[in-house]
Amino acid sequence: MAEVLDQAEVDALLAAVDSGQIDQQTAEVIGPSGARKGAVKDVRLYDFKRPERVSKDQIRALEAIHEGFARNFGAALSAFLRTIIEVRVATVEQLTYSEFIHSLPNPTCFNLLSAQPLEGQMCLEISPLIIYPVIDRLLGGSNNDLFIPQRPLTSIEWRLVGKITDRALQSLTEAWSNLVDVDFEVPETESNPHLVQIVAPNEVVVVIGFELKMGPRAGTMSLCIPFNVVEPVMGKLAAQSWLSYKRKGVSGEQLDKLQHNVAAATVEMRAYLAETTIALRDLMSLQPGDLLMTEKPAAEELKILVEGKTKFAGRLGRFKQNKAIRITRRTAPDERL
């Protein structure tokens, strides 16, 4: 606690200064309010032009959501382009919309996103430094000594970029499904970001910056989320509720849906009666009715494989005039039968 003088002590101090009992330098250590000037005050800077409307816990939750998006998008893009694409979250920060727009190159690949049922629009910007190498890859190029043109994308190039943004929206929808069910779409594209005004210039937006790498080429991608778009679901981004949700794991409804979908899948099963070796000349001379002798007794269990992996043991028999195998037990993958 800072030492505070009452009014009587302040009057006595001023009287002592006037009478010369203490010098002026000593008196300047104590301010006119009675508090000492060297006292530590709890002062925090606040910029009214850039109000912090999103808490640090909510920023961390958004970062966690989009780290999952980056992994899924990188995998989808790698499979589509048949080359390794690395996508990672580089920055998550609060800006005004004007600051975000002025930080972008012109021209660039600027996509407006609608996220129903959320009101308003987001925007996804992909740097020309990486979008042109991706287009070159789609057209069969090698990206060696590729010149990055300073011009807007052509109609054909926008069609090719649409294949990239479609996969980005699929991964984004999957990542946001843990927060809210949304349907992302691209209603409009633009090359000049200064011509797009989705919110007021001084409106707060959350900008999530990604880094994309494809071999020696690298570029950035930015997802701009206006605060008024995510304000209805900001309560779900609190750190405690987000962590508690992650601890719950798969819900019963999701597990039932997964089991229902997997139950309809078909798998290949094979049963091996026995294994033996034979000379090639004997194999070429086999005729119908010939017998193959093995070392395995007829009463022993058979090996049953599912998709090429040993899963069960069984015994050969007959069921309604058909040959059949009765499963007797499960087996270990490395068990020899």
Which residue bears the tokens 């022993």?
300
Whether residue 111 is found in the same domain as residue 178: yes
Whether residue 93 is found in the same domain as residue 172: yes
Whether residue 126 is found in the same domain as residue 229: yes
Whether residue 315 is found in the same domain as residue 240: no
Whether residue 82 is found in the same domain as residue 191: yes
Element (H, E) at 296: none
User: Is position 241 within any domain?
Assistant: yes
User: Is position 48 within any domain?
Assistant: no
Segments of the chain with pLDDT less than 70: 1-5, 20-52, 143, 238-251
Q: Please give the tally of structural domains in the chain.
A: 3
At 245 the pLDDT is 45
Between strands 269-272 and 217-226, the pairing is: unpaired
Whether residue 37 is found in the same domain as residue 72: no
At 158 the pLDDT is 92
The model's pLDDT over 237-295, given as tens digits with 9 standing for 90+, comes to 764 454 444 444 556 777 888 888 788 788 888 888 888 888 888 888 888 988 888 88
- Among 128, 115, 234, 131, CA closest to 181: 115
At 249 the pLDDT is 53
User: Is position 226 within any domain?
Assistant: yes
Whether residue 21 is found in the same domain as residue 64: no
Whether residue 24 is found in the same domain as residue 104: no
Domain that holds residue 18: 1-43
Whether residue 217 is found in the same domain as residue 137: yes
Tokens of 238: 């609190």
Residue 220: which CATH number?
3.40.1550.10
What is the rounded distance in angstroms from the CA atom of residue 277 to the CA atom of residue 133? 55
Cα torsion at 293, 298, 301, 303 (round to 10°)?
Answer: 30
Whether residue 74 is found in the same domain as residue 218: yes
Tokens of 323: 């040959």
At 208 the pLDDT is 93
At 74 the pLDDT is 92
Measured from the Cβ of residue 122, the count of other Cβ atoms closer than 10 Å reads 21
The model's pLDDT over 47-83, given as tens digits with 9 standing for 90+, comes to 555 556 777 888 888 888 899 999 999 999 998 988 8
> Considering the entire predicted model, what is its pTM?
0.57
User: Is position 286 within any domain?
Assistant: no
At 239 the pLDDT is 47
Whether residue 27 is found in the same domain as residue 64: no
Whether residue 63 is found in the same domain as residue 148: yes
User: Is position 254 within any domain?
Assistant: no
